[in-house]
A = this chain, B = another copy of it.
Amino acid sequence: MKRRDFFKKAATVAGSAALGGSTLLANETGHPVDNRKVSDIALPQKRPLITYSDRPPLLETPREVFANAITPNDLFFVRWHMPMIPTYINPHYFSISIDGEVKKPMKVSLKSLKTEFEAVEITSVLQCGGNSRSAFRPTPSGIQWGPGAMGCAKWKGARLKDVLAKVGLKPNAAWIKFNGLEKPVYSKTDRFVRALELSKMHDDIIIAYEMNGEELPYLNGFPVRLILPGFYSDSWIKMLSDITVTDTKPPLHFMDHAYRIPDNNCECETPDHLAKKTKPIEEMNVNSLIGYPVNGTKVRKDAELIVRGVAFDGGHGIARVEISTDGGTGWQAASLDDGKQGKYAYRTFTYRLTPDRTGSLSIMARATNTKGETQPFAHEVKWNRGGYKYNGIDEVAVEVLS
């Protein structure tokens, strides 16, 4: 790094307050922070994970878990917004209240959800919109996630469509509002509520009561959670308790102000020129992560190393994953699994290489979906104030020993 660059970077990291916004680089990204330690202490029903906070609970999954197609429940990341979450829910008395522009407002009990509707299971990735946010400079506010604010599980439940058919939508029904049991401390704070346009409802949206064959972990939304395959997790309301159907889009803090990105072609802006028009983050863009090796893994020269990881997008399907070991100049195809997990799930990849010299070896992974959308290099990812939708080409460096 040149001396001048160093000062530039130092100024960037120091932030805008002291130096004035105009001295900042317009936008800059790198790789997300990826060396945080797993906590010493396990939260309920979880293994020890990377722990940012326990109130609200904020847990990140370490990189090595992403070598596998399914993320186990006890290793699955956790993200809540409000500090008040019920610590006891009796599933025998739990029900979802459905009202608004419906013909028969009713409470649907957990039992009736399980017995009166067709049970469907869908394998889908759940990813925080701010996953890898720590890659952005200047630093956006929010949790400084590394790359592990995501997971892939088998979700089982009733179709939202079937449940709404039972209450009957009125002709003017246009939006569906979802509310869960997390609550702010101060009563005037907005609750974490999301709404879905009725025209965007499809068969794969479910109200899930099982995750990987078990009841949902408490921290992942027990007893029921909204599953919106292909969408970022801010839409997947946990501990879903209220559904209200409305004729117009309801005003909602977490849709109107948070989880939004610039509504322009690059979905980008600069700290100096924030975009005036924004839109919800919604559909996930194409992404991949190397699960093994991790940074610093020691391997042997002339010994085959199998790189393993996962790739996914918002539901168009992964067309290919490529690997580069020369800093992104040359790319070779990785092997993909059979894709039987479905279009919303992880597609696992493997790539075999045999290091032929000692020292540091960089391994990059890049996924491309069936629409031809691909991952940019980390430094090419465009900045946005929320630090959302990061999908830079992943990179790990291993140490090759003689």
Contacts and interface: CB of A to CB of B under 8 A. Distances in A.
Interface of A: 40-45, 47-48, 64, 67-68, 72-74, 213-214, 217-218, 292-293, 297-300, 303-306, 308, 337-338, 350, 352, 401
A298 B44 contact: no
B299 A42 contact: yes
Contacts of A298: 40-42, 48
Nearest to A217: B306
Given A74-B67, A213-B337, A47 B299 contact: no
A42 B305 contact: yes
B297 A42 contact: yes
A305 B218 CA distance: 11
A214 to B, nearest CB: 7
A40 B293 CA distance: 12
27 contacts: A41-B298, A41-B299, A41-B300, A42-B298, A42-B299, A42-B300, A42-B305, A43-B300, A43-B303, A44-B304, A44-B305, A45-B304, A45-B305, A45-B306, A45-B352, A47-B64, A47-B292, A47-B297, A48-B297, A68-B72, A73-B306, A74-B292, A74-B308, A213-B338, A214-B350, A217-B306, A218-B304
Contacts of A72: 67-68
Contacts of A308: 74
Contacts of A293: 42, 47
In the complex, the count of this chain's copies comes to 2
Most chain B beta-carbon neighbours within 10 Å: one of A292, A293, A308:
A292
Nearest to A293: B42
A47 B304 CA distance: 11
A306 B308 CA distance: 28
A308 B217 CA distance: 14
Given A43-B303, A45-B306, A67-B74, 19 more contacts: A40-B298, A41-B299, A41-B300, A42-B297, A42-B298, A42-B300, A44-B300, A44-B305, A45-B305, A47-B292, A47-B293, A47-B297, A48-B298, A73-B306, A74-B292, A74-B306, A213-B337, A214-B350, A217-B306
A297 B299 CA distance: 29
Nearest to A41: B298
Contacts of A217: 306
Nearest to A354: B44
Nearest to A296: B40
A349 B99 CA distance: 40
A354 to B, nearest CB: 8
A42 B42 CA distance: 28
Contacts of A350: 214
B401 A41 contact: yes
A298 B308 CA distance: 30
A355 to B, nearest CB: 11
Contacts of A42: 293, 297-300, 305
A213 B350 CA distance: 12
Contact of A44 (B41, B48, B214, B303): B303
